Amino acid sequence: MTNDIIKSILSRTTTNLYDPTFTLSDEKIYELVKIATTAPTSFNFQNWRFIAVRTAEAKTRLRKIAWDQPKITEAAVTFIICGQLIDYRLLPERLTPAVEMGIMPVEMMSILEDASRGLYFQQPQRQRDEAVRSGSIGATALIYAAHALDLGSTPMIGFDANAVTQEFSLSDNEIPVLLLAVGKALPENWPQKPRRPVSDVLDFI
Ligand SMILES: Cc1cc2nc3c(=O)[nH]c(=O)nc-3n(C[C@H](O)[C@H](O)[C@H](O)COP(=O)(O)O)c2cc1C
């Protein structure tokens, strides 16, 4: 079972060492995020925000509150991937473009709005879970898009979430799910580490 996409997935590794001289244009960063936003979200809520930290000054501020990890200043950009707490009242706005394009029948709007109200209204844990799910899935798409463009990436949970929220003015409804560095990987990086046997992680029922 293989093709070029599978080969790309299989060959990804986390980058630890970046070429600090390599930069990414804002247009390229925009393209990467555009690709990432095709990732799926619950009800197509798209409850995420990607903050591209790419100036030397902003990277230094982020590194200070992220375990002083050198890749934050050495990679071309480090994204603060924010998940947003689900507010079901935003759903009509998020679904309207699909209705206008004739993809979704208009009658489905109220059905989905009812379903999302039932799931998320006054359910802070579910709203938060969904923010973390959306942020994680968006970050994953960004990781593989970067790899397909021959860029290295590093997902990072090594940061102070409260400090990131304050320093980068996240809204009350936003959670910094992950930092994601992206840049040019140096050849000295480790190869991919082995995985647990599939038989340990897969159950057939
Ligand atoms: C949620 C998450 C958080 C991580 N946090 C960090 C981190 O703070 N610093 C770091 O150097 N690597 C971090 N990593 C990278 C992992 O250590 C790495 O993905 C794992 O060891 C497997 O290696 P591979 O991606 O090269 O296969 C993180 C990965 C994930 C998915």
CA of 72 to the centre of ligand 1 (A): 14
Compute the Cα dihedral for 84, 87, 91, 97 and give only its sign. Answer: negative
Please report, as a single letter, which amino acid is at residue 177. Answer: V
Pocket test for ligand 1, best of 13, 15, 18, 154 (most atoms within 8 A of CB): 154
Nearest residue (by CA) to ligand 1, atom 4, is 156
Supply the pLDDT for residue 18: 98
Nearest residue (by CA) to ligand 1, atom 31, is 155
- The atom of ligand 1 lying closest to the CA of 178 is 1
CA of 154 to the centre of ligand 1 (A): 6
What contacts 58, CB < 8 A, 6 or more positions away?
none
Tokens of 141: 């798409």
Supply the pTM of this predicted model: 0.97
Instruction: Enter the DSSP assignment of 185.
Output: B
Spell out a b/e string for 157-189, using b for 16 or more CB atoms within 10 Å of the CB, else e.
eebeeeebbeebebeeebbbbbbbbbbbbeeee
- Ligand 1 site residues, Cβ closer than 6 angstroms: 13-14, 16, 69, 154-158, 178, 192-193
DSSP-assigned states of every residue in 8-20? HHHT--B---B-T
Pocket test for ligand 1, best of 11, 14, 81 (most atoms within 8 A of CB): 14
Nearest residue (by CA) to ligand 1, atom 6, is 156
Supply the pLDDT for residue 1: 79
Which pairing describes strands 174-183 and 152-156: parallel, antiparallel, or unpaired? antiparallel
Residue-wise pLDDT tens for the chain (205 aa)? 799 999 999 999 999 999 999 999 999 999 999 999 999 999 999 999 999 999 999 999 999 999 999 999 999 999 999 999 999 999 999 999 999 999 999 999 999 999 999 999 999 999 999 999 999 999 999 999 999 999 999 999 999 999 999 999 999 999 999 999 999 999 999 999 999 999 999 999 9
List, in order of start, the domains of the chain with CATH numbers. Answer: 4-185 (3.40.109.10)
CA of 182 to the centre of ligand 1 (A): 13
CA distance 164 to 105: 41
